[in-house]
Amino acid sequence: MTTTTPATPVGPRRAPRPGPPTASRARTAATRGTAFALAGVVVAVLAVVDLTLGTADVGALDLLRLVTDRDDEALAVLVASRLPRVLAALLVGAALGAAGAVLQSVARNPLASPDTLAVNAGGYLAVVAAAVLGLALPLPARGLLAFLGGLAAAALVLAVARAGATGPTRLVLAGSAVSLALGSVTMVLLLVFAQETTGLFAWGSGSVAQSGLRTVLQVGPVALLGVAALVALGRRLDLLALGDDAARSLGLDVRRTRVVVVVLAVVLAAAAVTVAGPIGFVGLAAPVLARML
């Protein structure tokens, strides 16, 4: 007697559910980590090379001898000129880069930066106006004045840009117009009150070679705290990039977050202006280069 087993109905097989893309994310994270590590190494190497360059007859071998022998001339050149220059360049680059990235994120505009929003021009005008009035301000007060001037200029640019149709072109045009206007007023003050503003011509050209070590050490903690605060607010900035409605639905106070990060960006721009004067393009280009990594 033969027994037959009933055939099991064969239906369409379900495709297995794809698992979480952990491998892809791990590769992406590793690639980004490698890119940032290489960028850090390049910056460190360039900083060391910059320490060996200058008008004084002090080369790399003279600086290496400081490890074992005391050379007063080489030590004076290093501490008084080259080390402040390198530290100022690192401080200004980090401050303007972070400020530019935040302003681009908040404005949702890749052309936003401390330069295009007239923050640098506003800070410079405020410092020049104080010199015209005969106010001999210490460094902290000068930095605060640059902050207030930059904040007022940025608010004016945003108000002009939002008065009509929005768009990257309008923001750039508004920023350029305000920046040129403030720059013209600054130049008039420098020419009319040449005696009161002695020394501000070179400072206004923007250079990291004019800062002493004391200036860098006083402004450096402010810039570091500002960058650290922006890093801590990184997740909120990511939510803000989704749009106001999406960010509000996720529980983010959009208005407060935008005000806080803009104030921090202006603080960083004011710190850079205090150290090296108004320097443009860094805040515009640095975020773009960072996103390419």
Query: Structure pTM?
Result: 0.80
Name the nearest CA neighbour of 99 among 86, 118, 112, 89: 112
**pLDDT tens per residue across span 24-43:** 667 776 777 787 788 888 88
Token digits for 77?
A: 């050149």
- Rg over CA atoms, the chain: 26
Q: Which residue has the tokens 């007859």?
A: 57
**pLDDT tens per residue across span 235-254:** 898 888 888 788 888 888 88
Q: What SS3 state is found at 55?
A: coil
Name the nearest CA neighbour of 120 among 89, 98, 94, 151: 151
Evaluated on CA atoms 107, 166, 124, 258, the torsion sign reads: negative
Evaluated on CA atoms 234, 240, 246, 252, the torsion sign reads: positive
> Which pLDDT score, from 0 to 100, does residue 268 have?
92
> Which pLDDT score, from 0 to 100, does residue 142 have?
85
- Span 47-292 CATH architecture: Orthogonal Bundle (1.10)
> Which pLDDT score, from 0 to 100, does residue 139 have?
80
> Which pLDDT score, from 0 to 100, does residue 184 have?
93
Q: Domain residues of the chain, as ranges?
A: 47-292
Q: Per residue of the chain (293 residues), give pLDDT as tens.
A: 455 555 555 555 555 555 455 666 677 767 777 877 888 888 888 888 888 887 777 777 777 777 777 767 777 788 778 888 889 999 999 999 999 999 888 888 788 888 888 888 999 999 999 989 888 888 888 888 988 998 899 888 888 877 655 556 777 788 889 999 999 999 999 999 988 887 787 777 777 876 678 888 888 899 999 999 999 998 898 888 888 788 888 888 888 888 899 889 989 998 988 888 888 788 888 888 887 77
